[in-house]
Structure 1
Amino acid sequence: MKLRTWIAAALFVVPGVALAAEPIEGNWKTASGATAVIAKCGGSFCITLKTGKHAGKSIGKLSGSGSDYSGSITDPETDKTYSGSGSVSGKSLKMKGCVLAVLCKSQTWSRL
């Protein structure tokens, strides 16, 4: 009887591990003070502004796992899209956008 109880408990624990969110997912405070939400969309992570002047605007799509992600970032002011990356460290997310991989700008966002 105890063995069956243990097996049943193990079956509930294992699926929970597979469904764990990636570190990049969640709500982030941007450098401008707006809130951005990063959520799973297909095989990537979509970045959408939820507050501020550009609320509702999609500003990026990144792929990856763990602490490092790459893809594209769009400047909401100019609508120009750049090669981008994100690196999660604790409650910080360093976002970087580059033109020709030479001219880059970075921002650090904080987890809300």
Structure 2
Amino acid sequence: MIGRLKKQLLPISFAVLLPVAVAADPIVGVWKTEPDRKNLTSHIKISACGEKFCGQILSAYDASGKEVQTPNIGKKLFWDVASEGCGKYGGGEFWVPLINVDAVPQMTLQGDTLLVKGCEHEICAHQIWSRL
């Protein structure tokens, strides 16, 4: 009886623990982007979204550090990104607001920096984000 109960509870325990493991992943947090072509930096909140990760634009700042309002604040920047192990993340989609294009994201976490690369076909761009 106890052995059968353990077999029934094991899948439930994995289902409960998996979201906790994803939520505790070191990529989760708020990140500051490099300046874009309009010389704006943004704060991006990376969260666990189910078993994967998504990023949302929290705020934007001009070159002097003054907060500015843009129509992109509150929008998802990327979604369905998965951990690939060893600080690498990929899959899903990445929206590039400046040119309104979806790209395939690749991210590499090294301490408090995140190399973010997006490619659409053979055209790629990258930024280094800093943890806030």
TM-score normalised by structure 1 residue count: 0.76
What is the alpha-carbon distance in structure 2 between the residues aligned to residue 79 and residue 66 of structure 1? 31
Structure 1 unmatched runs, 5+ = 1-14
1:99 is displaced (CA, Å) by 1.6
Which amino acid is the alignment partner of residue 34 of structure 1?
Answer: S
Question: Is structure 2 residue 64 aligned with structure 1 residue 56?
Answer: no
1:66 is displaced (CA, Å) by 4.5
Which amino acid is the alignment partner of residue 55 of structure 2?
Answer: I
Residue number in structure 2 paired with 1:78: 99
What is the alpha-carbon distance in structure 2 between the residues aligned to residue 57 and residue 78 of structure 1? 15
Residue number in structure 2 paired with 1:97: 118
What is the alpha-carbon distance in structure 2 between the residues aligned to residue 66 and residue 26 of structure 1? 18
TM-score normalised by structure 2 residue count: 0.66
2:47 touches 2:53 (CA, 8 Å); kept in 1? yes
Cα offsets for 1:46-100 (capped at 9, x unmatched):
1000002221010102111441100221112233110111110011000000122
Question: Of residues 22, 44, 47 in structure 1, which corresponds to 2:52?
Answer: 44
What is the alpha-carbon distance in structure 2 between the residues aligned to residue 104 and residue 86 of structure 1? 13
What is the alpha-carbon distance in structure 1 between the residues aligned to residue 29 and residue 120 of structure 2? 27
2:105 touches 2:118 (CA, 8 Å); kept in 1? yes
Structure 2 unmatched runs, 5+ = 1-16, 36-40, 61-69
2:95 touches 2:103 (CA, 8 Å); kept in 1? yes
What is the alpha-carbon distance in structure 2 between the residues aligned to residue 66 and residue 41 of structure 1? 20
SS of the aligned residue for 1:50 comes to strand
Residue number in structure 2 paired with 1:68: 88
Cα offsets for 1:14-70 (capped at 9, x unmatched):
x8xx65711111000011321000000111101000002221010102111441100
Identity %: 31
Q: CA RMSD in A?
A: 1.7
